[in-house]
Structure 1
């Protein structure tokens, strides 16, 4: 079964859609362009050796629906016929997957392309606004998501369509700004000698911050997981956790503001993922907006840009479903990311 390089991009239903992150994978099946996605239980990536095994055991063995196509969003750069995920051991091999699972077409997107598409697909009822002015309807947007890692994507409007712009913006440098930062940063765990945004602004980043704050004050870290630290910070039962979450929020505000300037995102900045949803009370505190807007000489500009937390639990699947139904509506370049079985 050869792979056609110039395959038609109209996908045949039913379509399997999937959002595969470092820790969790979420799947659904679209029966047709009108039906709501049929959802399945969340898959833990650590429970399966391969993505093909996970799809077979968790999806195909539990339904009589046989997908003919798949649109999958993966956490990692897509290059060639073997795509290694950034924060888990799965490797996506589309040709082998198509043969094993009986698929005619597979399209791979970056996971934050899917999050960017969700910004267009979701309504305001699935968002919490964190300050700023009104959205300019066709202006650029930024999507930023701390989770297992730190995902970043842009979204631009051109030629009457929305075009997601994936990237690896979560790996930009972060540095200290305040006197307290200078006390804490030497205790942070670096990656190959530097502190990237992802070393601070994701689940393990929060643990990294917590340990560094404790070490800076000569204290023993008492908590071990992002969930424990977040809970203790929000209920104010652990001062070290409170400060760690505060530094996390400020760092997220700084990075979000930087990216808003890069993209001139008058259409808004959108925070997505489980961590952002859990820390909405902390994001509503003045420190986040202050850090976001502290960009002289453009503080006034940043003050007008709204920030939203996306609260939909399956936002990326919503974005994938919108794309899968009508790919031609979106400016997604898939020439090297579409495998078609003839």
Structure 2
């Protein structure tokens, strides 16, 4: 009996997102009760639809502390630069103004260098990520984590990123032109070299950011839209008739001959894993499948209810970004 209890404890799986799953089900239940209630006005139904799915998608988005810290740091530095500029340009004069001006240029140079680096190497990540699933267990007495994180960057973040650095560039150019460049000496040459360097560094970065903004506004993958999203009414049971391929390498959707990407599920190699470990990994894979199924049911609910009502432009814009979160998850899932 003791051996059985010990074996059972070994295959325990920690499910950190269990609370979120429960909340999602409760939110959908409340939403559908209001949608199907004839006494609720159409306006209230539309507002409830948006609010409910905003709460559901917020459960999928998790704040990454160090990325949030970097974003707050950017905001603080931007505020510091603004204060320094006001002090040097309008309040202080003489030596004090010169000292503040040099500090302003130093801080601005750091921010512009950071902007250039982050754009060249695509490091300007939003401080929230989509967490599809997150499980903890043990394999061969070693801790094991199964996590799926997807980067998701809203357009406001990219616009803020570009606008703030454009603003800093204007201040830097103004300060240098106003206080360090005078005609008739070799400072003009130095300024020309410096200006050219700044332009060469920042222009590709700005273009890269503008391209990202344009990409965010483009329609999502056409195959995904035509096969899955636009035909959601025929794909309600998409996750019902599925089976895992050999060794749980990926998932096969029988109804529309789609497969999932490799690496999303845990590879179960019977030659390398003990029976208890195999059972543990198979259980986690089934949990991951259930997680995708739950998210798909939420998305179908949004798509169905969206078609039942008319929305103004502002609400359509909100729906667009809610759908983008769901779309990001399933574009990451399917091999299309």
Same fold (TM over 0.5): no
Q: Greater RCO between the two (CA within 8 Å, min separation 6)?
A: 1
Structure number with higher helix proportion: 2
TM-score (norm 2): 0.27
TM-score (norm 1): 0.27
